[in-house]
Amino acid sequence: MRRAAEAPGSDPRPARLLAPLGIALAGLLGRSAVDKLLALRTGAAGVVAWGQMSSLLDLVVGVVAAGIGSGLAVLAAGSDAPRRAALLRSALRLGGALSAAVAALLCGVVAGPASWAAAIGLPRADLVLAGLAGVALSLGSLAGSYWQGAQRLRLQFLLALLGAGLGVLVAGFAPGGRALPVVRWLAGAQALLSLAVAAWTLRAVPRVPGATPVAHAELLRYLPAGLALGVLGPASMLAARALTAQGLSWQAAASLQALWRVSDWVSSLAASVLAVLYLPRFGRAWGSPRWPTELRAAAQAVLPASALAFVVLLLLRLPVFEALYGRGFVPGAGATALFFAGSLLRVAAWVPLFGLYAQGRARAIALGELASLPLFAALLAAGAARAGLAWIGAAWLLSYATYATVNLLLLRGACPPRP
Protein backbone atom coordinates (compact mmCIF):
# COMPACT_ATOMS: atom_id res chain seq x y z
CA MET A 1 0.00 0.00 0.00
CA ARG A 2 1.35 3.39 -0.96
CA ARG A 3 2.42 5.49 2.02
CA ALA A 4 1.69 9.16 2.44
CA ALA A 5 5.29 10.08 1.63
CA GLU A 6 5.05 8.59 -1.85
CA ALA A 7 4.19 10.77 -4.78
CA PRO A 8 0.64 10.42 -6.08
CA GLY A 9 0.46 7.90 -8.86
CA SER A 10 3.92 6.50 -8.17
CA ASP A 11 4.48 2.88 -9.01
CA PRO A 12 4.71 0.32 -6.22
CA ARG A 13 8.22 -0.35 -5.00
CA PRO A 14 9.77 -3.58 -6.29
CA ALA A 15 9.58 -5.12 -2.83
CA ARG A 16 5.83 -4.53 -2.77
CA LEU A 17 5.46 -6.05 -6.22
CA LEU A 18 7.12 -9.27 -5.06
CA ALA A 19 4.32 -10.00 -2.58
CA PRO A 20 1.41 -10.33 -5.05
CA LEU A 21 3.66 -12.21 -7.47
CA GLY A 22 4.63 -14.61 -4.68
CA ILE A 23 1.00 -15.12 -3.68
CA ALA A 24 0.02 -15.93 -7.26
CA LEU A 25 3.06 -18.15 -7.87
CA ALA A 26 2.34 -20.21 -4.76
CA GLY A 27 -1.16 -20.91 -6.02
CA LEU A 28 -0.01 -21.60 -9.57
CA LEU A 29 2.75 -23.99 -8.51
CA GLY A 30 0.37 -25.85 -6.25
CA ARG A 31 -2.33 -26.04 -8.94
CA SER A 32 0.09 -27.25 -11.61
CA ALA A 33 1.59 -29.82 -9.24
CA VAL A 34 -1.90 -31.12 -8.42
CA ASP A 35 -2.78 -31.38 -12.13
CA LYS A 36 0.49 -33.19 -12.84
CA LEU A 37 -0.07 -35.67 -10.03
CA LEU A 38 -3.62 -36.26 -11.23
CA ALA A 39 -2.39 -36.80 -14.79
CA LEU A 40 0.15 -39.35 -13.55
CA ARG A 41 -2.20 -41.14 -11.14
CA THR A 42 -5.52 -41.00 -13.00
CA GLY A 43 -4.84 -39.75 -16.57
CA ALA A 44 -7.03 -37.28 -18.44
CA ALA A 45 -10.12 -38.39 -16.47
CA GLY A 46 -8.68 -37.04 -13.23
CA VAL A 47 -7.59 -33.74 -14.74
CA VAL A 48 -11.03 -33.10 -16.24
CA ALA A 49 -12.86 -34.33 -13.12
CA TRP A 50 -10.89 -31.94 -10.91
CA GLY A 51 -11.49 -29.15 -13.42
CA GLN A 52 -15.24 -29.78 -13.24
CA MET A 53 -15.18 -30.03 -9.45
CA SER A 54 -13.16 -26.79 -9.28
CA SER A 55 -15.76 -25.04 -11.41
CA LEU A 56 -18.54 -26.31 -9.15
CA LEU A 57 -16.65 -24.97 -6.13
CA ASP A 58 -16.10 -21.69 -7.96
CA LEU A 59 -19.83 -21.54 -8.64
CA VAL A 60 -20.47 -21.35 -4.89
CA VAL A 61 -17.38 -19.39 -3.87
CA GLY A 62 -17.38 -16.97 -6.81
CA VAL A 63 -20.76 -15.46 -5.95
CA VAL A 64 -19.28 -14.40 -2.60
CA ALA A 65 -15.67 -13.69 -3.59
CA ALA A 66 -16.39 -11.63 -6.73
CA GLY A 67 -19.03 -9.54 -4.97
CA ILE A 68 -18.91 -9.22 -1.20
CA GLY A 69 -15.26 -10.31 -1.07
CA SER A 70 -14.11 -7.67 -3.55
CA GLY A 71 -16.21 -5.07 -1.77
CA LEU A 72 -14.60 -6.06 1.53
CA ALA A 73 -11.11 -5.61 0.05
CA VAL A 74 -11.98 -2.17 -1.37
CA LEU A 75 -13.72 -0.89 1.76
CA ALA A 76 -11.19 -2.32 4.21
CA ALA A 77 -8.31 -0.64 2.38
CA GLY A 78 -9.45 2.80 3.52
CA SER A 79 -10.65 1.87 7.01
CA ASP A 80 -9.18 1.69 10.49
CA ALA A 81 -8.91 -1.61 12.36
CA PRO A 82 -12.28 -1.50 14.20
CA ARG A 83 -14.19 -0.66 11.02
CA ARG A 84 -12.35 -3.43 9.11
CA ALA A 85 -13.37 -5.86 11.85
CA ALA A 86 -17.01 -4.78 11.56
CA LEU A 87 -16.84 -5.17 7.78
CA LEU A 88 -15.34 -8.65 8.17
CA ARG A 89 -18.11 -9.82 10.47
CA SER A 90 -20.76 -8.41 8.16
CA ALA A 91 -19.07 -10.06 5.19
CA LEU A 92 -18.92 -13.46 6.92
CA ARG A 93 -22.61 -13.31 7.80
CA LEU A 94 -23.71 -12.18 4.37
CA GLY A 95 -21.26 -14.44 2.56
CA GLY A 96 -22.15 -17.48 4.62
CA ALA A 97 -25.86 -17.00 3.97
CA LEU A 98 -25.34 -16.33 0.27
CA SER A 99 -23.02 -19.29 -0.31
CA ALA A 100 -25.40 -21.56 1.60
CA ALA A 101 -28.25 -20.46 -0.67
CA VAL A 102 -26.19 -21.14 -3.79
CA ALA A 103 -25.09 -24.51 -2.38
CA ALA A 104 -28.72 -25.40 -1.68
CA LEU A 105 -29.62 -24.62 -5.30
CA LEU A 106 -26.69 -26.73 -6.48
CA CYS A 107 -27.75 -29.61 -4.26
CA GLY A 108 -31.23 -29.23 -5.68
CA VAL A 109 -29.84 -30.43 -8.97
CA VAL A 110 -29.44 -33.80 -7.28
CA ALA A 111 -33.21 -34.08 -7.05
CA GLY A 112 -33.57 -33.26 -10.74
CA PRO A 113 -32.99 -35.41 -13.79
CA ALA A 114 -29.86 -37.56 -13.71
CA SER A 115 -28.88 -36.09 -17.09
CA TRP A 116 -27.74 -32.89 -15.34
CA ALA A 117 -25.01 -34.70 -13.44
CA ALA A 118 -24.14 -36.80 -16.49
CA ALA A 119 -23.68 -33.68 -18.62
CA ILE A 120 -21.28 -32.21 -16.06
CA GLY A 121 -19.37 -35.48 -15.92
CA LEU A 122 -19.60 -36.05 -12.14
CA PRO A 123 -21.86 -38.25 -10.00
CA ARG A 124 -24.71 -36.71 -8.04
CA ALA A 125 -22.89 -37.15 -4.73
CA ASP A 126 -20.13 -34.88 -5.94
CA LEU A 127 -22.63 -32.07 -6.59
CA VAL A 128 -23.60 -32.24 -2.92
CA LEU A 129 -19.94 -32.34 -1.86
CA ALA A 130 -19.17 -29.30 -4.03
CA GLY A 131 -22.02 -27.37 -2.42
CA LEU A 132 -20.95 -28.12 1.15
CA ALA A 133 -17.26 -27.57 0.49
CA GLY A 134 -18.05 -24.36 -1.39
CA VAL A 135 -19.64 -22.80 1.71
CA ALA A 136 -16.46 -23.44 3.71
CA LEU A 137 -14.27 -22.12 0.90
CA SER A 138 -16.41 -18.97 0.70
CA LEU A 139 -15.70 -18.17 4.35
CA GLY A 140 -11.98 -18.72 3.80
CA SER A 141 -11.99 -16.48 0.74
CA LEU A 142 -13.60 -13.66 2.76
CA ALA A 143 -10.83 -13.98 5.34
CA GLY A 144 -8.35 -13.59 2.49
CA SER A 145 -10.17 -10.49 1.24
CA TYR A 146 -9.93 -8.99 4.73
CA TRP A 147 -6.15 -9.49 4.84
CA GLN A 148 -5.90 -8.13 1.30
CA GLY A 149 -7.66 -4.93 2.33
CA ALA A 150 -5.47 -4.69 5.43
CA GLN A 151 -2.44 -5.13 3.13
CA ARG A 152 -1.02 -8.03 5.19
CA LEU A 153 0.72 -9.41 2.12
CA ARG A 154 3.23 -11.67 3.89
CA LEU A 155 0.40 -13.38 5.71
CA GLN A 156 -1.46 -13.87 2.44
CA PHE A 157 1.67 -15.40 0.96
CA LEU A 158 2.04 -17.85 3.85
CA LEU A 159 -1.63 -18.85 3.56
CA ALA A 160 -1.19 -19.39 -0.19
CA LEU A 161 1.82 -21.62 0.47
CA LEU A 162 -0.15 -23.60 3.04
CA GLY A 163 -3.03 -24.16 0.63
CA ALA A 164 -0.73 -25.18 -2.21
CA GLY A 165 1.22 -27.59 -0.03
CA LEU A 166 -1.94 -29.23 1.28
CA GLY A 167 -3.26 -29.73 -2.26
CA VAL A 168 -0.03 -31.38 -3.38
CA LEU A 169 0.01 -33.73 -0.38
CA VAL A 170 -3.59 -34.79 -0.92
CA ALA A 171 -3.18 -35.27 -4.69
CA GLY A 172 -0.04 -37.34 -4.17
CA PHE A 173 -1.11 -39.50 -1.25
CA ALA A 174 -4.93 -39.60 -1.18
CA PRO A 175 -6.17 -43.19 -1.05
CA GLY A 176 -8.03 -44.75 -3.94
CA GLY A 177 -5.77 -43.96 -6.87
CA ARG A 178 -8.78 -43.28 -9.10
CA ALA A 179 -10.09 -39.96 -10.37
CA LEU A 180 -13.19 -39.38 -8.24
CA PRO A 181 -11.85 -40.50 -4.82
CA VAL A 182 -8.81 -38.23 -5.17
CA VAL A 183 -10.97 -35.31 -6.32
CA ARG A 184 -13.22 -35.75 -3.29
CA TRP A 185 -10.24 -35.75 -0.93
CA LEU A 186 -8.97 -32.55 -2.56
CA ALA A 187 -12.30 -30.76 -2.12
CA GLY A 188 -12.65 -31.88 1.48
CA ALA A 189 -9.11 -30.87 2.45
CA GLN A 190 -9.52 -27.40 0.95
CA ALA A 191 -12.81 -26.95 2.81
CA LEU A 192 -11.27 -27.84 6.19
CA LEU A 193 -8.34 -25.50 5.64
CA SER A 194 -10.67 -22.63 4.69
CA LEU A 195 -12.75 -23.09 7.83
CA ALA A 196 -9.58 -23.03 9.94
CA VAL A 197 -8.36 -19.81 8.25
CA ALA A 198 -11.74 -18.10 8.73
CA ALA A 199 -11.89 -19.08 12.43
CA TRP A 200 -8.30 -17.93 13.03
CA THR A 201 -8.96 -14.61 11.29
CA LEU A 202 -11.98 -13.92 13.48
CA ARG A 203 -9.84 -14.49 16.58
CA ALA A 204 -7.04 -12.28 15.23
CA VAL A 205 -9.09 -9.14 14.43
CA PRO A 206 -10.18 -6.58 17.04
CA ARG A 207 -13.31 -7.40 18.99
CA VAL A 208 -16.22 -5.19 17.93
CA PRO A 209 -19.95 -5.34 18.78
CA GLY A 210 -20.61 -7.18 15.51
CA ALA A 211 -21.95 -6.60 12.04
CA THR A 212 -23.61 -3.24 11.50
CA PRO A 213 -26.42 -2.19 9.14
CA VAL A 214 -24.07 0.32 7.52
CA ALA A 215 -21.46 -2.34 6.80
CA HIS A 216 -24.18 -4.64 5.47
CA ALA A 217 -25.43 -1.95 3.10
CA GLU A 218 -21.95 -1.07 1.85
CA LEU A 219 -21.11 -4.69 1.08
CA LEU A 220 -24.46 -5.46 -0.54
CA ARG A 221 -23.72 -2.84 -3.22
CA TYR A 222 -21.30 -5.38 -4.69
CA LEU A 223 -23.79 -8.25 -4.74
CA PRO A 224 -24.85 -7.91 -8.42
CA ALA A 225 -21.21 -8.22 -9.50
CA GLY A 226 -20.81 -11.36 -7.44
CA LEU A 227 -23.97 -12.92 -8.86
CA ALA A 228 -22.81 -12.23 -12.42
CA LEU A 229 -19.15 -13.20 -12.14
CA GLY A 230 -19.71 -15.94 -9.59
CA VAL A 231 -22.50 -17.72 -11.45
CA LEU A 232 -21.96 -16.98 -15.13
CA GLY A 233 -18.20 -17.58 -15.12
CA PRO A 234 -18.01 -21.03 -13.49
CA ALA A 235 -21.23 -22.18 -15.18
CA SER A 236 -19.76 -21.19 -18.55
CA MET A 237 -16.55 -23.08 -17.78
CA LEU A 238 -18.56 -26.17 -16.90
CA ALA A 239 -20.51 -25.85 -20.15
CA ALA A 240 -17.35 -25.24 -22.19
CA ARG A 241 -15.68 -28.45 -20.97
CA ALA A 242 -18.87 -30.48 -21.45
CA LEU A 243 -19.45 -29.06 -24.95
CA THR A 244 -15.85 -29.77 -25.95
CA ALA A 245 -16.09 -33.32 -24.64
CA GLN A 246 -19.36 -33.94 -26.46
CA GLY A 247 -18.25 -32.27 -29.69
CA LEU A 248 -14.72 -33.70 -29.79
CA SER A 249 -13.65 -35.92 -26.87
CA TRP A 250 -12.77 -35.85 -23.18
CA GLN A 251 -9.13 -35.84 -24.24
CA ALA A 252 -9.78 -32.60 -26.15
CA ALA A 253 -11.50 -31.23 -23.05
CA ALA A 254 -8.40 -32.15 -21.06
CA SER A 255 -6.22 -30.27 -23.60
CA LEU A 256 -8.52 -27.27 -23.23
CA GLN A 257 -8.12 -27.53 -19.47
CA ALA A 258 -4.35 -27.61 -19.93
CA LEU A 259 -4.54 -24.44 -22.07
CA TRP A 260 -6.48 -22.69 -19.32
CA ARG A 261 -4.04 -23.80 -16.66
CA VAL A 262 -0.92 -22.82 -18.60
CA SER A 263 -2.33 -19.41 -19.52
CA ASP A 264 -3.15 -18.96 -15.83
CA TRP A 265 0.57 -18.81 -15.16
CA VAL A 266 0.46 -15.37 -16.78
CA SER A 267 -3.09 -14.16 -16.18
CA SER A 268 -3.16 -15.13 -12.50
CA LEU A 269 0.05 -13.23 -11.86
CA ALA A 270 -1.44 -10.16 -13.56
CA ALA A 271 -4.70 -10.56 -11.64
CA SER A 272 -2.82 -10.79 -8.34
CA VAL A 273 -0.90 -7.58 -9.04
CA LEU A 274 -4.12 -5.79 -9.99
CA ALA A 275 -6.12 -7.09 -7.04
CA VAL A 276 -3.52 -6.87 -4.28
CA LEU A 277 -1.74 -3.65 -5.27
CA TYR A 278 -3.92 -1.64 -7.61
CA LEU A 279 -7.49 -2.29 -6.44
CA PRO A 280 -6.90 -0.49 -3.11
CA ARG A 281 -5.13 2.32 -5.01
CA PHE A 282 -8.05 2.58 -7.44
CA GLY A 283 -10.44 2.84 -4.51
CA ARG A 284 -8.52 5.75 -3.02
CA ALA A 285 -7.96 7.52 -6.35
CA TRP A 286 -11.50 7.41 -7.78
CA GLY A 287 -12.85 10.93 -8.07
CA SER A 288 -9.40 12.54 -7.73
CA PRO A 289 -6.91 13.79 -10.36
CA ARG A 290 -4.84 10.63 -9.73
CA TRP A 291 -7.52 8.36 -11.26
CA PRO A 292 -6.26 8.24 -14.88
CA THR A 293 -2.66 8.04 -13.67
CA GLU A 294 -3.41 4.98 -11.56
CA LEU A 295 -5.21 3.27 -14.46
CA ARG A 296 -2.26 3.88 -16.78
CA ALA A 297 0.19 2.67 -14.13
CA ALA A 298 -1.78 -0.56 -13.71
CA ALA A 299 -1.91 -1.19 -17.47
CA GLN A 300 1.82 -0.53 -17.80
CA ALA A 301 2.55 -2.87 -14.90
CA VAL A 302 0.74 -5.91 -16.30
CA LEU A 303 0.26 -5.69 -20.08
CA PRO A 304 3.83 -5.55 -21.50
CA ALA A 305 5.06 -8.23 -19.12
CA SER A 306 2.04 -10.45 -19.85
CA ALA A 307 2.52 -10.11 -23.61
CA LEU A 308 6.19 -11.10 -23.32
CA ALA A 309 5.35 -14.05 -21.08
CA PHE A 310 2.73 -15.38 -23.50
CA VAL A 311 5.21 -15.15 -26.39
CA VAL A 312 7.78 -17.11 -24.38
CA LEU A 313 5.19 -19.76 -23.45
CA LEU A 314 4.19 -20.08 -27.10
CA LEU A 315 7.80 -20.57 -28.18
CA LEU A 316 8.28 -23.18 -25.45
CA ARG A 317 4.89 -24.81 -26.05
CA LEU A 318 6.08 -28.40 -26.41
CA PRO A 319 8.38 -28.65 -23.37
CA VAL A 320 5.99 -26.64 -21.18
CA PHE A 321 2.87 -28.74 -21.86
CA GLU A 322 4.80 -32.02 -21.80
CA ALA A 323 6.43 -31.13 -18.48
CA LEU A 324 3.21 -29.96 -16.82
CA TYR A 325 0.79 -32.52 -18.26
CA GLY A 326 2.29 -35.01 -20.73
CA ARG A 327 2.49 -35.65 -24.47
CA GLY A 328 -1.22 -36.35 -24.83
CA PHE A 329 -2.14 -32.89 -23.56
CA VAL A 330 -0.12 -30.76 -26.02
CA PRO A 331 -2.42 -28.54 -28.18
CA GLY A 332 -1.56 -27.39 -31.69
CA ALA A 333 0.50 -24.25 -32.29
CA GLY A 334 -2.38 -22.37 -33.92
CA ALA A 335 -4.85 -23.15 -31.14
CA THR A 336 -2.27 -22.17 -28.53
CA ALA A 337 -1.48 -18.84 -30.23
CA LEU A 338 -5.17 -17.92 -30.51
CA PHE A 339 -5.83 -18.90 -26.93
CA PHE A 340 -2.85 -16.96 -25.58
CA ALA A 341 -3.88 -13.88 -27.59
CA GLY A 342 -7.34 -14.09 -26.07
CA SER A 343 -5.82 -14.50 -22.60
CA LEU A 344 -3.75 -11.34 -23.10
CA LEU A 345 -6.96 -9.47 -23.96
CA ARG A 346 -8.48 -10.99 -20.84
CA VAL A 347 -5.73 -9.35 -18.77
CA ALA A 348 -6.33 -6.07 -20.62
CA ALA A 349 -10.05 -6.31 -19.77
CA TRP A 350 -9.27 -6.69 -16.07
CA VAL A 351 -7.74 -3.21 -15.79
CA PRO A 352 -11.07 -1.44 -16.45
CA LEU A 353 -12.87 -4.23 -14.55
CA PHE A 354 -11.01 -3.41 -11.34
CA GLY A 355 -11.67 0.24 -12.09
CA LEU A 356 -15.38 -0.55 -12.13
CA TYR A 357 -15.01 -2.30 -8.77
CA ALA A 358 -13.35 0.82 -7.34
CA GLN A 359 -16.28 2.89 -8.65
CA GLY A 360 -18.71 0.53 -6.93
CA ARG A 361 -20.55 -0.08 -10.22
CA ALA A 362 -21.72 -3.63 -9.64
CA ARG A 363 -24.48 -3.47 -12.27
CA ALA A 364 -22.00 -2.38 -14.95
CA ILE A 365 -19.72 -5.26 -13.95
CA ALA A 366 -22.63 -7.69 -14.26
CA LEU A 367 -23.52 -6.32 -17.70
CA GLY A 368 -19.96 -6.59 -18.97
CA GLU A 369 -19.61 -10.15 -17.71
CA LEU A 370 -22.06 -11.33 -20.39
CA ALA A 371 -19.37 -10.55 -22.98
CA SER A 372 -16.73 -12.85 -21.45
CA LEU A 373 -17.12 -16.51 -20.54
CA PRO A 374 -20.88 -16.66 -21.30
CA LEU A 375 -20.15 -15.40 -24.83
CA PHE A 376 -17.37 -18.00 -25.14
CA ALA A 377 -19.71 -20.82 -24.09
CA ALA A 378 -22.36 -19.55 -26.52
CA LEU A 379 -19.86 -19.62 -29.39
CA LEU A 380 -18.91 -23.18 -28.47
CA ALA A 381 -22.56 -24.21 -28.39
CA ALA A 382 -23.02 -22.57 -31.81
CA GLY A 383 -20.51 -24.98 -33.34
CA ALA A 384 -16.97 -24.04 -32.34
CA ALA A 385 -16.76 -26.96 -29.91
CA ARG A 386 -17.24 -29.40 -32.79
CA ALA A 387 -14.79 -27.72 -35.17
CA GLY A 388 -11.55 -28.33 -33.26
CA LEU A 389 -9.31 -26.65 -30.70
CA ALA A 390 -8.21 -23.93 -33.14
CA TRP A 391 -11.83 -22.77 -33.53
CA ILE A 392 -12.23 -22.92 -29.75
CA GLY A 393 -9.16 -20.70 -29.46
CA ALA A 394 -10.66 -18.26 -31.97
CA ALA A 395 -13.88 -18.16 -29.92
CA TRP A 396 -11.81 -17.39 -26.82
CA LEU A 397 -10.03 -14.54 -28.63
CA LEU A 398 -13.28 -13.04 -29.93
CA SER A 399 -14.95 -13.25 -26.53
CA TYR A 400 -12.21 -11.39 -24.70
CA ALA A 401 -11.75 -8.79 -27.42
CA THR A 402 -15.44 -8.03 -26.88
CA TYR A 403 -15.10 -8.11 -23.09
CA ALA A 404 -12.16 -5.68 -23.06
CA THR A 405 -14.03 -3.25 -25.31
CA VAL A 406 -17.22 -3.38 -23.25
CA ASN A 407 -15.40 -2.87 -19.93
CA LEU A 408 -13.45 0.09 -21.28
CA LEU A 409 -16.62 1.75 -22.59
CA LEU A 410 -18.40 1.18 -19.28
CA LEU A 411 -15.47 2.61 -17.32
CA ARG A 412 -15.28 5.74 -19.45
CA GLY A 413 -18.99 6.35 -19.08
CA ALA A 414 -18.87 6.89 -15.31
CA CYS A 415 -19.25 10.29 -13.67
CA PRO A 416 -16.81 10.95 -10.78
CA PRO A 417 -18.36 11.49 -7.34
CA ARG A 418 -18.75 15.02 -6.07
CA PRO A 419 -16.05 16.16 -3.64
Q: What is the pLDDT along the chain (419 residues), one digit of tens a residue?
A: 333 333 333 444 455 667 777 888 888 888 888 888 888 887 777 777 887 788 788 888 888 887 888 888 888 877 788 888 888 988 999 999 999 998 888 777 765 666 555 666 677 788 888 889 999 999 999 998 898 878 787 888 888 899 989 988 988 887 776 777 888 899 999 999 999 999 999 888 887 665 567 778 888 888 877 777 777 877 888 788 788 888 787 778 878 888 888 898 899 889 888 987 888 788 778 888 888 999 999 999 999 999 999 999 999 999 988 887 777 778 889 999 999 999 999 999 999 999 998 888 888 888 888 888 899 999 988 887 788 888 999 999 999 999 999 999 999 866 555 54
Contact (CB, 8 A) for 356 and 415: no
Q: Report the half-sphere exposure of 402 (CA within 13 A, side-chain side).
A: 17
Q: What is the DSSP string of 231-278?
A: IIHHHHHHHHHHHHHHHT-HHHHHHHHHHHHHHHHHHHHHHHHIIIII
- Give pLDDT, residue 116: 59
Contact (CB, 8 A) for 287 and 416: yes
- Give pLDDT, residue 1: 31
Identity at 125, one-letter amino acid code: A
- Give pLDDT, residue 22: 81
Contact (CB, 8 A) for 372 and 349: yes
